[in-house]
Amino acid sequence: MDRRRLRGERTRQAILSHAARLASAEGLEAVSLQRLAGDLGISKSGLFAHFGSKEELQLATVEEAAWVFTLEVLKPGLSEPAGVGRVAGLCEAFLSYVERRVFPGGCFFEAAVAEFDSRPGPVRDSVVEKRRYWAASLARAIREAQTAGQIVPEVDADQLAWELNCLLIGANNSSVTDPGDVAFQRARRSIRDRLQAVAAKP
């Protein structure tokens, strides 16, 4: 039973990993039991044993993408000590995650929010919740930098987080359509300049 359970968990993980990569490039609507069964060579009935409906599969795919985002962006970014370095580290981790094409379509959540922005329901709610958590993480890192005396206290942390996130999203969107690394170079330069402008003077 333990071996069977382990095999089932591995199969589920393989399904979700493929589903997240597929969704980033083709959209969550492309993630269907029939499509995954064909791609992975698994029977449709076998997929039903893991996911009872398309919506359940899509929600699980969003959770998988959030776990990948945590490993690729949040954990490395937050490993920096509290201060400007942590804010810069979060931004760099996001750019690296997109630049390395962890998901072939760029940032999973930017693709998903564009697809579901006008489609209310549990999938949209989950995508928006994860996206807001990222923005809140940036704002929290900025407040920590202010507490550490590295960013001037007059700065509106939420506003600065919004500005930095816009630069990150812009780099993501440009990288999907434009070849090369120009978008990433420009984003890095803009983020560096913005952080230098708000840094507390020693």
Domain of residue 188, CATH code:
1.10.357.10
**Residue 87 included in any domain:** yes
When comparing pLDDT for 79 and 12, which is higher? 79
Residue 42's pLDDT band (cuts 50, 70, 90):
confident
Q: Give the burial class of 200: count Cβ atoms within 10 A of its Cβ; 0-12 exposed, 13-18 middle, 19 or more buried.
A: middle
Domain total for the chain? 1
| 12-26 tens-digit pLDDT | 888 899 999 999 999
Torsion of CA 117, 119, 124, 129, to 10 degrees: 50
| 100-117 tens-digit pLDDT | 999 999 999 999 999 998
**Residue 13 included in any domain:** no
Enter the tokens of residue 75. 């954990």
> What is the pLDDT, as a whole number, of residue 8?
63
CA–CA separation, 63 vs 185, rounded Å?
Answer: 30
> What is the pLDDT, as a whole number, of residue 112?
93
> What is the pLDDT, as a whole number, of residue 43?
77
Close Cβ partners of 70 (under 8 Å, ≥ 6 residues apart): none
| 129-163 tens-digit pLDDT | 999 999 999 999 999 999 999 999 999 999 999 99
**Residue 42 included in any domain:** no
| 157-200 tens-digit pLDDT | 999 999 999 999 999 999 877 777 899 999 999 999 999 999 99
> What is the pLDDT, as a whole number, of residue 164?
98
Average pLDDT value for residue range 42-67: 85
Closest CA to 200 of 130, 150, 126: 150
> Domain range spanning residue 155?
54-198
**Residue 158 included in any domain:** yes
**Residue 94 included in any domain:** yes
**Residue 103 included in any domain:** yes
Per residue in 17-51, is it b (16+ CB within 10 Å) or e — as a string? ebbbbbbbeeebeebbbebbbeeeebeeeebeebb
pTM over 0.85: yes
**Residue 155 included in any domain:** yes
**Residue 7 included in any domain:** no
